Structure 1
Amino acid sequence: MSLIAVAASYGAGDRMRRGVFDSWQWLRPNDLSDTDVRVVLIDDFSIEKFSSWPWPRYHLARLTEELTKRGAKVIAFDIMFPEHDRLNPDAIVSLYPELGAVAASEVKALRPMDFGFGLVIGESPVVLAHAGVSRAPADQLPLADSPISGKLPAAVDSWPGELAAIPELDDVALGSGLINAPPDADGIIRGVPLVQRAGGRPRLGFALEIARNALDAESVEATPTSVKVGQRTIPIDHRGRMRIHFGEFPEDDVISAARLLLNDEELPKDKFAGKIVLIGLSAQGTFDVAATPLASEWLGPLVQAQAVDSILRGGWLIRPAWAEPAEWAAGALLAFLALAAAIFGKWYRITLALAFVAVPVASWLVFTGAATLLDPARPLLIGGGGVAGVAMGLFALARTERERLRDALVQERISTAETEGELQAARSIQLGMVPPRLRLQGLDPRVDLDALLEPAKSVGGDYYDAMKIGDDEIGFAIADVTGKGVPAALFMAMSKALTSAALSRMQADPAAMADAINRELLKDNTEAMGVTLLLGLLDLNSGEVRMVCAGHEDPILLSGDKATRVRLEGGPPLCAAELVYPLERLTLKPGETLVLVTDGVTEAQNEKQELFGSKRLLADGALRSGTAAEIVDGIRDHVRNFEGEAEATDDLTVMAVRYIGPA
């Protein structure tokens, strides 16, 4: 029976050992309350306040300057920069072909944002992330020598090539490290590589390079079992990995990048003084998810942050070379006691019971007291085989099946996270297609214009647009594509592109533009989708509005606190048929506001399946005089309060055009 248990230990020992050690960490997580590591995340709030990812290098330069000003010891970007900033002067000129030759040459003469970011990095204590890859780019310049000496473990992770940052950044940074951190076979990260090879060269892991600069160490000395940086010697396994004792990272030490860029006064001035700062991503559709012993979904920057903290404060776990022989010896002792108990009776049975209790207790005590990993499962399995081989065999099979199901669950969660990430990326792209609110509010001092779009699903079919036409006119549009989800989003993208093109060329005939959009959409509309559209042109000197309505909600005129629906003749939604839409006129007095909404406002439902409706919009105090932003936010808040706990069933889009008057 013991031989069966020994064979089972060989077959499933690694999985069982990982499960036990994960349980120890779950019962006794590492205390990170005194960590000197701070994590700055480019989160959803940061994306909302500034721009969609990837950010222009200008924002990243400002973030770096702010952290340097606040006294950060090391600033590490858990973000790759292998490509130049997409908003370089040549790209900007190509996006605006209508620029004159003089203006285009002036724009091209501007220094790229990469240059400015490089200047900031050169004046700041910045560490950049590299990655081991199957093949490095052919045009990549030779990399600097790594500050590592000694002999690496024989089975250290090796990569044929190394993907570096662009030279403008890499050449001026304090250092760089490989960000690769492959999980174990079950998809869980339990440690990070401190040393690796890339392109045949020894390379430091990202966390160790950060710690090296934090300790002001010139080099790192490696052996097959440890690395030494400064006065610290960190044990590593045969792959060059340090095992991490994970803990819950303090919430106060995870800061939104927007708070720094906006100079949040509630953020302590000394929050980063003398600290190590990791900058990473957590916004929806951008972040990397890792499974750890404490959670199935963990942000990648937090894993690196814990690795840096472990190096600096000694929070690693040890699996000594004598651990496995000791476990086999303990198993043999239990098997002998089982045999002795069967032969000699009571006192040996008591001793056997105490020995079975002592093994996991000893494993727990050395884990909590010496951060040492001793596997109690193997001795118990071998000893249990001596007591009841058949029962223990069944237990081993059940344990293996449970591990298989857990692996399947991890893979399913990873797959779900990838799918969710793709949908959230699509949502970010969709929201990036409509003009940001700050840009709308600065179109012209003679008009106060604002709008917002909140898709009901991950992606949806509403859109809006507005732009200045010539010196004295503002063109605007709001639309709703039939359907929901990805098909509506794709048709919305095509409709939005046609609408933007029409607005940019619209002179004084919105009706002709609506007819042109309709004819283009009818060409390839094989799915018989439709678009409701309200297209308008505001004369900034006279306040006259010329509009075309294609099946859309009538606009609302807000004069003071009096709201009146403007009845338009209009026509059917676009894509219904080829026809000429009537041009309709309205004159706004200074201070009056034209409010446009989609049916996501009027058809919003609460828990009782009641509709918000047009009457409630006009009479429930949802419309009150104020700035365009206040009007838009007020409508959105009234609708959401009305919905309560009910899930939104349609995209919500609101636009307010408040006429200030001629200059």
Structure 2
Amino acid sequence: PAPAAPRDAAARVVLIDPESLKAVGPWPWPRYTIARLTEEIAARGATAIGFDMIFPEPDRLNPDRIAALYPELPAAARTAMLAAPSQDAVLAQVAGAHPVVLARVGIERDAVDFAAGAQTDPAMLPVGAAFTAPLPPGVLAYPGALANIPDLDEVAAGQAIINGAPDRDGVIRRVPLVANVAGAPTPGFALELARVALGVDTITPVVAHGRLRAVALGDRRVPVDADGRMRLRFGRLPPGTVTSAALLLRRGWRPDAFRGRIVIIGLGAAGTADVVTTPVDRETYGTFVQAQAVDAILGGGALARPWWAAGVEWGAATLLAALAILLLPRLRGAAIALVPGLAAVLLVVGSFGAFARFGLLLDPVRPLLVGATTALAVAAMTFAEQTFRQRRLRTALAEQRVAAARAAGELEAAREIQLGMLPPRAGLARLHPAIDLDARLEPARSVGGDFYDAIPLGADRLCFLVGDVTGKGIPAALFMALSRALSKSVLLREGDDLAAAVARIDAELSRDNAQDMFVTMLVGILDAATGRLDFCNAGHENPLRVTAVGVVEELALEGGPPLCVAGGFPYPVETIHLAPGDGIVVVSDGLTEAQDAAGGFFGHARAFAILGGWTAAVSAREATDRLGDAVRAFEDGADPSDDLTILALRWRGPA
């Protein structure tokens, strides 16, 4: 939250700072000096004076203590010294003559100094304020307190606790206004200073539904949490709020400096000060926090988290979730982000407005988290539904086209449809200037199950793949269309992780595989800047490597089974590095298993012999045509036994 704007404060701080210690001496000071400081403050018109410190022991400079230190003193001197008033008596006389509020520290039973110094008898812990009713359960409670010596406590106009634990992150956001100490209601330091300054005798706890909601001083009502702590809107102290104690002791301050003001005396030197963290200061003095708390009580600057806040937050969360469920599936384009974004902005603005204008704390995080979670879930479900619908539409469209072609006796049209799904052959060589790429596909029938694709992945990465669906004819063609479309979609989204992409393709194809078909596939990703080539082989023919001078070798890949055979198989990624001019040839088994009229197979040896002529001077298109024409010539008019696919690429070197 934004800090409160500085304003003229009701509280002033007299700080015992390094300059004061230099002028008077180290802390603790003699009580006589503190009495002088109190008189100087009172003389300048303070309506209440609070000590943000405690005096739990007699002054070490009391006459009786000094006399005990020097047993060699003459009897007359000792008698005169013992007759002198003590330092504590001097301070008690001054404190009793002015509106002084003394502090005490509430101590938990398990605290280290509880047994040593905690006072647990309510009779020994006088409280100047009268409470009109007991404090309800849930309010801060301390079984004892570290208090001032009785000589001081009994004459002070008020007594109050000064300590309060920070929030879990170590930041002070709240200040105790009331607590039960040794079973007795006790005001907080800031509240008691305000009470004494206003001349009010009583403090009224405001209770609703058994929980403390506020405390009242006369007609002033200050909201608090159920534990009795006030939420404070922190800010910067206005200029002129802090005065050095050394300046007052020199009587160098104007006579009306504190007229109508509450003055808090605090410590602000290294080794003596109570240093805390607030929402606006990494390090500040606890005395400054008490001063701002006094201003909040008297000036209406306290923050409140009303009892209905949680209900409003959950209501807003429910409303955002309902809007996400009802509206997001109907929105399109930019409205999908605009509408939720506008709702979130309105929620944050409303929360800030309640804080800035009315001092109310309404947390927008809870409804934003609920709304965002619901929106993401709805968006994911909508995307999944649309993807499934599109997939069904694609499959249905392909089926309708093939059925129409068969019904009309135009399966050649189906062949054209299938081949039209593949990247145009003429454009393959232009995909990247450093890569010469070509592919040739000839179905064994009018339609078939082989396919290939080439997919740019960014500026310098090219993905290519060759697939072979089991079977031939229309069923294979339909599964081929689905396999190619899904493979391209997944690789475009997840091409940075080839193994994960192939695993996703396997899972998606298996999910929609009602006829238990399977597909072999070889996927490669070539980095045109470095020649790095990553392969992932799912039961397909091994690729062939052809050097710039025509040396051919088979790349024996470890690979894995065809897709849709072994669900969840971890297909490995295998990497090679091409030299400039190196080529890669990927074929389907329609090449190696092509048969002539006598039943002989084309085989690898013939492929190696033909590819040996593919040197750097020969284009990829010419290489695929040479190899494909050789297969058809080998068959010599016999019906092809399987679809024939050949993909050839050559890396020219870095562009």
TM range (shorter): 0.5 to 0.7
1:311-360 CA-to-partner distances (Å, cap 9, x unmatched) read: 00001001111111111111122222222343111357543221111111
Q: 1:92 aligns with which of 36, 50, 66?
A: 66
Task: Determine the C-alpha separation between the residues in 1 that align with 2:8 and 2:51.
Answer: 22
Q: Is the 8 A contact 2:120 2:143 kept in 1?
A: no
| AA matched with 2:80 | E
What residue is the counterpart of 1:233 in the other structure? 221
Matched, 1:330 2:312: no
Q: 1:344 aligns with which of 300, 309, 330?
A: 330
| Alpha-carbon offset, residue 250 of structure 1 | 2.1
Matched, 1:293 2:275: no
| AA matched with 2:223 | P
Task: Determine the C-alpha separation between the residues in 2 that align with 1:254 and 1:368.
Answer: 27
What residue is the counterpart of 2:5 in the other structure? 31
Q: Is the 8 A contact 1:337 1:351 kept in 2?
A: no
What residue is the counterpart of 1:159 in the other structure? 142
Q: Point out the more displaced range, 348-357 or 39-48.
A: 348-357
Q: Kindly tell me: are residues 98 and 53 of structure 1, through their superposed partners in 2, closer, same or farther at Cα, counting changes over 3 Å? A: same
Matched, 1:119 2:93: yes
What residue is the counterpart of 2:304 in the other structure? 318
- Map of 1:54-203 to 2, 5 A cutoff? 54-133=28-107, 134=109, 135=114, 136-137=118-119, 142-144=124-126, 146-203=129-186
1:607-637 CA-to-partner distances (Å, cap 9, x unmatched) read: xxxxxxxxxxxxxxxxxxxxxxxxxxxxxxx
| AA matched with 2:126 | A
**Unmatched 5+ stretches in structure 1:** 1-23, 393-663
Q: Kindly tell me: are residues 200 and 390 of structure 1, through their superposed partners in 2, closer, same or farther at Cα, counting changes over 3 Å? A: farther
| Alpha-carbon offset, residue 207 of structure 1 | 0.9
Q: Is the 8 A contact 1:337 1:348 kept in 2?
A: no
Task: Determine the C-alpha separation between the residues in 1 that align with 2:16 and 2:84.
Answer: 27
| Alpha-carbon offset, residue 365 of structure 1 | 1.1
What residue is the counterpart of 1:430 in the other structure? none
Matched, 1:208 2:191: yes
Task: Determine the C-alpha separation between the residues in 2 that align with 1:194 and 1:390.
Answer: 47
Task: Determine the C-alpha separation between the residues in 1 that align with 2:183 and 2:121.
Answer: 18
| Alpha-carbon offset, residue 93 of structure 1 | 2.2
Task: Determine the C-alpha separation between the residues in 2 that align with 1:390 and 1:70.
Answer: 68
| Alpha-carbon offset, residue 90 of structure 1 | 2.2
| Alpha-carbon offset, residue 256 of structure 1 | 0.6
Q: Is the 8 A contact 2:122 2:183 kept in 1?
A: no
Task: Determine the C-alpha separation between the residues in 1 that align with 2:220 and 2:330.
Answer: 52
| AA matched with 2:97 | E
| Alpha-carbon offset, residue 371 of structure 1 | 0.9
| AA matched with 2:213 | T
What residue is the counterpart of 1:566 in the other structure? none
Q: Kindly tell me: are residues 307 and 138 of structure 1, through their superposed partners in 2, closer, same or farther at Cα, counting changes over 3 Å? A: closer
Task: Determine the C-alpha separation between the residues in 1 that align with 2:190 and 2:132.
Answer: 17
Task: Determine the C-alpha separation between the residues in 1 that align with 2:323 and 2:123.
Answer: 65
Matched, 1:382 2:370: yes
Task: Determine the C-alpha separation between the residues in 2 that align with 1:389 and 1:181.
Answer: 43
Matched, 1:243 2:225: no
Q: Is the 8 A contact 1:338 1:349 kept in 2?
A: no
- Map of 1:273-292 to 2, 5 A cutoff? 273-292=259-278
- Map of 1:212-611 to 2, 5 A cutoff? 212-223=195-206, 224-264=212-252, 267-346=253-332, 350-388=338-376
How many residues matched?
A: 364
Q: Point out the more displaced range, 85-94 or 344-353.
A: 344-353
Task: Determine the C-alpha separation between the residues in 2 that align with 1:149 and 1:389.
Answer: 54
Q: Point out the more displaced range, 333-342 or 115-124.
A: 333-342
Task: Determine the C-alpha separation between the residues in 1 that align with 2:337 and 2:38.
Answer: 66
| Alpha-carbon offset, residue 132 of structure 1 | 1.4
Task: Determine the C-alpha separation between the residues in 2 that align with 1:139 and 1:313.
Answer: 36
| Alpha-carbon offset, residue 381 of structure 1 | 0.7
SS in 1 for 2:124: coil
Task: Determine the C-alpha separation between the residues in 2 that align with 1:389 and 1:239.
Answer: 39
Q: Kindly tell me: are residues 141 and 369 of structure 1, through their superposed partners in 2, closer, same or farther at Cα, counting changes over 3 Å? A: closer
How much identity, in percent, do the aligned residues show?
Answer: 47
Q: Kindly tell me: are residues 53 and 391 of structure 1, through their superposed partners in 2, closer, same or farther at Cα, counting changes over 3 Å? A: farther
| AA matched with 1:365 | G
| AA matched with 1:186 | D
| Alpha-carbon offset, residue 139 of structure 1 | 8.9
What residue is the counterpart of 2:644 in the other structure? none
Task: Determine the C-alpha separation between the residues in 2 that align with 1:172 and 1:372.
Answer: 39
| AA matched with 1:99 | L
| AA matched with 1:183 | P
Task: Determine the C-alpha separation between the residues in 2 that align with 1:100 and 1:298.
Answer: 50
Higher radius of gyration, 1 or 2? 2
Task: Determine the C-alpha separation between the residues in 2 that align with 1:391 and 1:303.
Answer: 47
1:482-537 CA-to-partner distances (Å, cap 9, x unmatched) read: xxxxxxxxxxxxxxxxxxxxxxxxxxxxxxxxxxxxxxxxxxxxxxxxxxxxxxxx
Q: Is the 8 A contact 1:93 1:99 kept in 2?
A: yes
Q: Point out the more displaced range, 207-216 or 29-38.
A: 29-38
Q: Is the 8 A contact 1:153 1:240 kept in 2?
A: no
Q: Kindly tell me: are residues 310 and 391 of structure 1, through their superposed partners in 2, closer, same or farther at Cα, counting changes over 3 Å? A: farther
| Alpha-carbon offset, residue 391 of structure 1 | 12
Q: Kindly tell me: are residues 138 and 236 of structure 1, through their superposed partners in 2, closer, same or farther at Cα, counting changes over 3 Å? A: closer
SS in 1 for 2:240: helix
Q: Kindly tell me: are residues 140 and 326 of structure 1, through their superposed partners in 2, closer, same or farther at Cα, counting changes over 3 Å? A: closer
Task: Determine the C-alpha separation between the residues in 2 that align with 1:103 and 1:387.
Answer: 88
Q: Is the 8 A contact 1:56 1:87 kept in 2?
A: yes
| AA matched with 1:335 | A
| AA matched with 1:352 | P
Task: Determine the C-alpha separation between the residues in 1 that align with 2:376 and 2:330.
Answer: 17
Task: Determine the C-alpha separation between the residues in 1 that align with 2:379 and 2:177.
Answer: 42
Task: Determine the C-alpha separation between the residues in 1 that align with 2:329 and 2:79.
Answer: 97
CA RMSD of aligned residues (A): 2.1
| Alpha-carbon offset, residue 298 of structure 1 | 1.5
Task: Determine the C-alpha separation between the residues in 1 that align with 2:195 and 2:51.
Answer: 15
What residue is the counterpart of 1:538 in the other structure? none
Q: Is the 8 A contact 2:16 2:268 kept in 1?
A: yes
**Unmatched 5+ stretches in structure 2:** 207-211, 381-655
Q: Is the 8 A contact 1:118 1:172 kept in 2?
A: yes
Task: Determine the C-alpha separation between the residues in 2 that align with 1:283 and 1:391.
Answer: 58
| AA matched with 2:286 | G
| AA matched with 2:43 | K
SS in 2 for 1:388: helix
